[in-house]
Amino acid sequence: MSLPLPSPVDESRRFSNMGGNSSGLGLDTASPVWLDSHLRRRDRSMMAWMTRTASANDSESKAASGSVSSATDHAPGWRSFGWLAIVVFVAISAADATWRVNPVFHDHWIYYGFQRNLTAHLRDFAWTYWATRLAILIPGAAAQRVFGLATGEIILHAGLLAVSLWAMRACGRRMFGERAGALAVVLAGTHFFFLQGMASDYTDGYGQCYLLLTAAALLRALDPGRGRNLAAACAGFFAACVVLTNIAFVAFLPVLTGAVLAGRPWGGGRTWAISKRLAIVTAIGAVSFGATLTLAEFWFHAHTDVHIWQPNLHFIREFRNDETFAIQDQRNSLAEWLPGASWLIWPAIVTAAGAISLVDLLRNPAGTSAARARTLAWLTLVPAALLIGTLADVSLKLDMFGRLWFYGVVLYQPLAILLAAGLLDRYLPDAGKAAARFLPAGVLLAVGLAAVHGAGVVKGIAPGEVNETAVFALTFLAGVGGFAATMAGSVRNVPVLFFTGLAVIGAVQGPQRAMFRVDAGRTPALVEFAMLDRCRELDARARTDTAAAVQEAVERCLELAPANDLGFWYDKNAAMAPAFEMVNATFAYGRILSKDMSDIRAKPLGGMQVGLEPGRVVVVLTDDVETARAAADREFARLAVRAYDLGVRQIGHGPVRFCLMAWEIEQAPEELAGELGRVRIGHRSGAGETNGVRR
């Protein structure tokens, strides 16, 4: 506690009143020049001392309440810059049509298909674990239903990025201070894999978003102020959303809670207060968590005949035994796998820097609170353990998902970003007033350049199009420049330091797209693995056109069969086969007839084969109409199937062009019913009126 102090004005008045006849000292009432100068110096010293005392008392008060503050919290521009950086990143990403496009990998398109036709997909594909991931499906379906297909995609992914960046800023600010929160936004917004996750319909972006929201709400619930109980309820709700995104992510929640609790000021009289608050937060969060999962179960079971946990448990049991789920590179050794694991580079560097910082904290703890030191330690040790576990998984072939990048990055990527923000906040010099005014402008310029560069990288760069030697040479020069600026020790060089540092970040992230191979650490989930090269080519050179063609084909399929009563038939070796696979994937691989144009009944590897029941719409995807028509005539005649020809639709965007042909089965032998023949097929009268041609 600090004692009440008289104001400098009162002190000056008391001292000056010692003069004159009333003082009895015989001094003149007029103050001499030396006395005025002394009083001014004394006033300035006392004001400075009072300011320092008040600041220390304020810091002590914040520490006692559990809030971790930074010495640079009051530096001009950091709060505004954090918000401005979020706006810049979201605006650049939303304006880039190539950013929010799903790649040519099937899982992304499966979730897109559920979002596009949620009610019918839940009815027909409830037995798949994809159907249970409601925290992905419902927001996407709502965005498309309210705003339309094109606008809904923009709002969905730009909103996901904006919310994630906001949550990242909130976590950094409450863990380390205002400057660290702004730095966390910069680091996340220029991180390739963070941007990639937010741009796609897969689980990694949603998982990171919900985990960050859980951490932000939990941090708010444990800090003093109004709204703590509401924040605790939100933490429970977002934790349930983490589970409803991917049941495997439930293992990340205790780790995330530990990162939050590490920064609480345990010890002394605060332990009991924090324990009571933690008990209240846990109770409210648990009730919210359970209520959310219960409502999800009722909602899911009302739309399907399956309980929400059954498909997930089935997937976990079958993963190790079913060849369909076999990991492509599980046969690779650690030496063969590691060079392609480019997503581990950045977290590994940051974790190493965190380890060095911990050694420095042990040797020189002055200037760092115990709460901040514990937070840095936790954020260092957890990613380090995850990285070591990943290497052990690959080396020992444990098949524990460690080699799959889209599982690991969900946890260690946000933690590594927060760790990097905390380290930068600790070691970057405090900027003076002049430099602080210029700092946001300099950093904003660097952020803009890095964001533009990152958006260009996400478009897809074909291997060989990046001069990696030049990139790393520029990275080295930027690093030397930043080091020189740091050694100069002048606050005027702080903007230069930030600019070069972000240039290093952008340069390191840049070639990752070229180095990132679909067969290195990631399950392509295309059973015919010979298709990988063609997938990579389409993904790198024509991602936007491929996505547009797939979306157009899906819309035509929904026009032909809005109740999902269709079956796909195409050649798995065709030039456009990857695009055909993506169209098939939007129907959860549950509507396949054959991938062999010589035999419509050839059972495909992977997916559930449907039969040729009356009412089924046969959809042929092909780039050779005449050959496909001849194959259909031959197979229908061989199997004694009668069908209406529903015509041909041209699908084309850029170099990605193919045709969609359709027939509706009118009559077929009963033995042609497939594994899903028991599913009711709603026959649509008059469906053959398009061309009126019977086959």
**pLDDT at residue 554, as a whole number:** 93
Q: What are phi and psi of 195, to 5 degrees?
A: -60, -40
Q: What is the β-pairing status of strands 592-594 and 693-694?
A: unpaired
Asked, for residue 67, whether it belongs to a domain, the answer is: no
pLDDT band at 26 (very low <50, low <70, confident <90, very high): very low
Question: Is residue 214 domain-shared with residue 284, that is, in the same domain?
Answer: yes
Structure-token match 């010099």, residue found: 429
Task: Estimate the crossing angle of helix 433-458 against helix 78-95, to 10 degrees.
Answer: 20
Whether residue 625 has pLDDT greater than 50: yes
Write the Ramachandran bin of 364: left for phi over 0, alpha for psi from -120 to 50, otherwise beta: beta
Question: Is residue 493 domain-shared with residue 574, that is, in the same domain?
Answer: no
Please name the residues in contact with 417: beta carbons below 8 A apart, sequence gap of 6 or more. Answer: 168, 184, 187, 188, 191, 194, 350
pLDDT band at 38 (very low <50, low <70, confident <90, very high): low
Tally the domains of the chain: 3
Question: Is residue 585 domain-shared with residue 500, that is, in the same domain?
Answer: no
Task: Estimate the crossing angle of helix 370-396 against helix 345-363, to 10 degrees.
Answer: 140
**pLDDT at residue 318, as a whole number:** 64
166-180, 233-247, 423-437, 515-529: which has the minimum mean pLDDT? 515-529
Question: Is residue 545 domain-shared with residue 587, that is, in the same domain?
Answer: yes
116-125, 272-281, 419-428, 676-685: which has the minimum mean pLDDT? 676-685
Question: Is residue 502 domain-shared with residue 551, that is, in the same domain?
Answer: no
Specify the higher pLDDT residue, 152 or 67: 152
Asked, for residue 511, whether it belongs to a domain, the answer is: yes
pLDDT band at 556 (very low <50, low <70, confident <90, very high): very high
Whether residue 467 has pLDDT greater than 80: no
**pLDDT at residue 484, as a whole number:** 57
pLDDT band at 404 (very low <50, low <70, confident <90, very high): low
**pLDDT at residue 9, as a whole number:** 39
Q: What is the pTM of this model?
A: 0.77
Cα 433 to Cα 80, 173, 388, distances in angstroms: 16, 21, 43
Single out the residue of 213, 227, 204, 211 nearest to residue 170, CA to CA: 213
Whether residue 573 has pLDDT greater than 80: yes
Which residues are paired to 609 by β-bridges? 592
**pLDDT at residue 391, as a whole number:** 83
Specify the higher pLDDT residue, 321 or 79: 79
98-102, 467-471, 574-578: which has the minimum mean pLDDT? 467-471
Question: Is residue 390 domain-shared with residue 488, that is, in the same domain?
Answer: yes
Question: Is residue 385 domain-shared with residue 483, that is, in the same domain?
Answer: yes
Asked, for residue 63, whether it belongs to a domain, the answer is: no
**pLDDT at residue 207, as a whole number:** 92
**pLDDT at residue 92, as a whole number:** 76
Integer Cα distance of 209 and 187 in angstroms? 15
Question: Is residue 131 domain-shared with residue 38, that is, in the same domain?
Answer: no
**pLDDT at residue 156, as a whole number:** 93
For the chain, the average pLDDT equals 72
**pLDDT at residue 532, as a whole number:** 47
Whether residue 617 has pLDDT greater than 80: yes
pLDDT band at 648 (very low <50, low <70, confident <90, very high): very high
Which residues are paired to 648 by β-bridges? 661
Amino acid at 116: R
Whether residue 385 has pLDDT greater than 80: yes
User: What percent of the chain is modeled with pLDDT above 70?
Assistant: 63
**pLDDT at residue 429, as a whole number:** 64
Asked, for residue 31, whether it belongs to a domain, the answer is: yes
Asked, for residue 588, whether it belongs to a domain, the answer is: yes
**pLDDT at residue 313, as a whole number:** 77
Question: Is residue 544 domain-shared with residue 646, that is, in the same domain?
Answer: yes
**pLDDT at residue 650, as a whole number:** 93
DSSP conformation letters of 505-531: HHHHHTTHHHH--TTSSS----SSGGG
330-339, 411-420, 504-513, 630-639: which has the minimum mean pLDDT? 504-513
Question: Is residue 241 domain-shared with residue 266, that is, in the same domain?
Answer: yes
13-17, 143-147, 148-152: which has the minimum mean pLDDT? 13-17
pLDDT band at 170 (very low <50, low <70, confident <90, very high): very high
Asked, for residue 638, whether it belongs to a domain, the answer is: yes
- The answer to whether 271 and 326 have CB atoms below 8 angstroms apart is no
Q: Determine the structural domain holding residue 395 and report its residue range.
A: 78-515
* Last residue of one domain, picked from the residues 465, 487, 515: 515
Question: Is residue 47 domain-shared with residue 89, that is, in the same domain?
Answer: no
Which residues are paired to 621 by β-bridges? 570, 660
Asked, for residue 70, whether it belongs to a domain, the answer is: no
**pLDDT at residue 278, as a whole number:** 80
Question: Is residue 320 domain-shared with residue 397, that is, in the same domain?
Answer: yes
Asked, for residue 521, whether it belongs to a domain, the answer is: no
Interval 603-608 mean pLDDT: 63
pLDDT band at 686 (very low <50, low <70, confident <90, very high): very low
